[in-house]
């Protein structure tokens, strides 16, 4: 099985006629993803690689039965694109867009709780379930179907660790990049809970980074609520205090936001915590008894 996206996903691409949307739509199609519609206001009636383009998400859903969306809309308009998907009943929404104003995401965060939907992102690589559906900008060639779930704040580290898992013959059920902005739609705990409920996910890799306390909260959740083994890695051991490192949310602002403090909390909760990315695959193999 997989979480969030699978062979039943009928994908809609918001911003399909833009440069990024068009490019990644092609890559998702090559992965076998069922892309059923695109949306670009003012370009309804056109098509992109045989995919019908609509002016609105509501119109696209009515015509195609789309149940998930991926957003490649410029930052000033991306929050409205999320609202449109939420109002149209999308079950999974992946917002790839980087640079959305924080006050826009505050409005989204207030609204999403009123809907039965999962928002991944923004500023994220998306979601990929190998062999089933690719709703992402991730390099599909490094993935292979399997039983290890991956949830991460870092896109690049996701690619490195997934590649090392694959090289060891360890496949993945779903990889979820939740994004590194200060305000995101879905946190570690929500995704960990979905993996815990998936009978075919036998181990989970959690990739965190400096800033905030999301990893400590996730550690407590794993300790109290999960039976599925979790392996973790925290990026940023050499990050200087007060300096943003890559993501807007990756900034050391106190003792508990350091990589050392997060790793200590993980180990205290019984989670295998790697000291470098390459060690993750070894710990996963150990957890799976290989």
With tokens 């996730």, the residue in question is 218
Query: Contact at 8 Å (CB) between 138 and 192?
Result: no
* DSSP SS3 for 53: strand
Q: Known catalytic residue: 247? A: yes
Q: Is the peptide bond before 122 cis (omega within 30 degrees of 0)?
A: yes
With tokens 């059920």, the residue in question is 173
Query: Contact at 8 Å (CB) between 147 and 171?
Result: yes
* Residue of 24, 48, 103, 247 marked active site: 247
Q: Which residue(s) pair with 136 in the sheet?
A: 126
- Shortest CA distance to 128 belongs to which of 24, 250, 281? 24
Give me 116's structure tokens: 């039965």
- Residues assigned a catalytic role: 247
């Amino acid at each position: 099985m997989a979480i969030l996206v699978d062979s039943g996903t009928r994908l809609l691409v918001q911003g399909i006629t833009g440069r990024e949307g068009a490019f990644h739509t092609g890559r998702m199609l090559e992965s076998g993803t069922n892309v059923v519609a695109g949306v670009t206001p003012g370009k309804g009636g056109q098509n992109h690689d045989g995919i019908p383009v609509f002016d609105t998400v509501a119109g696209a859903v009515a015509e195609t039965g789309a149940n998930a969306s991926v957003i490649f809309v410029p930052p000033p308009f991306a929050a409205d694109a999320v609202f449109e998907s939420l109002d149209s009943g999308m079950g999974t929404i992946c917002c790839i867009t980087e640079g959305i104003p924080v006050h826009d995401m505050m409005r989204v965060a207030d609204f999403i709780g009123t809907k039965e939907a999962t928002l991944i992102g923004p500023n994220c690589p998306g979601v990929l379930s190998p062999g089933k559906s690719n709703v992402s900008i991730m390099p599909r060639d490094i993935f292979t179907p399997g039983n290890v779930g991956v949830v991460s704040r870092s896109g690049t580290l996701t690619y490195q660790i997934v590649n090392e898992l694959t090289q060891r013959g360890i496949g993945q059920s779903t990889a979820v990049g939740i994004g590194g902005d200060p305000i995101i739609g879905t946190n570690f705990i929500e995704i960990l809970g979905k993996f815990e409920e998936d009978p075919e996910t036998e181990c989970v890799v959690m990739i965190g980074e400096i800033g905030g306390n999301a990893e400590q909260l996730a550690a407590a959740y794993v300790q109290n609520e999960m039976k599925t083994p979790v392996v973790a890695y925290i990026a940023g051991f050499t990050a200087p205090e007060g300096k943003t490192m890559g993501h807007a949310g990756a900034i050391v602002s106190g003792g508990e936001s350091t990589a050392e403090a997060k790793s200590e909390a993980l180990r205290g909760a019984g989670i295998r915590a790697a000291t470098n990315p390459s060690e993750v695959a070894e710990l996963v193999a150990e957890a799976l008894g290989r």
